[in-house]
Amino acid sequence: DAGVIQSPRHEVTEMGQEVTLRCKPISGHNSLFWYRQTMMRGLELLIYFNNNVPIDDSGMPEDRFSAKMPNASFSTLKIQPSEPRDSAVYFCASSGQGSTEAFFGQGTRLTVV
């Protein structure tokens, strides 16, 4: 398996633009996580899906952020409109049923100018 695949690896966008980050979890995994990593706040959990259903979105900063998981093999994190303070590395991770081992993607480095 290629592991968790995220795209794009790098994204530079202007303030106010819509940004969509993509994630393909490991086949067979039923849990999917989106994290944001910054120097200020460390590694923050944004949202957690189980069997494609959002279980906990309490970490989503505000209404500008939304996440979807239309099927077991794909998830998106959208920011609209984007702001400079959204600049961070965004990670997607997946884990199998009953497993504590979450596998992380390489991350998307987002820069909003």
List residues near another protein by CB under 8 A: 4, 33, 35, 38-43, 45, 48, 55-56, 91, 93, 95, 100-107
How many CA atoms lie less than 13 Å away from 11 in the CB half-sphere? Answer: 26
Give least dist CB 40 to another protein, A: 5
Q: Specify the residue, 18 or 55, whose C-beta has the smaller distance to another protein.
A: 55
Give least dist CB 60 to another protein, A: 13
Element (H, E) at 59: none
Give least dist CB 85 to another protein, A: 13
Q: Specify the residue, 2 or 39, whose C-beta has the smaller distance to another protein.
A: 39
Nearest alpha-carbon partner for 2 in 26, 23, 37: 26
**CA 23 to each of CA 20, 39, 48, 97: distance values in angstroms, whole numbers, following the listed order:** 10, 23, 13, 19
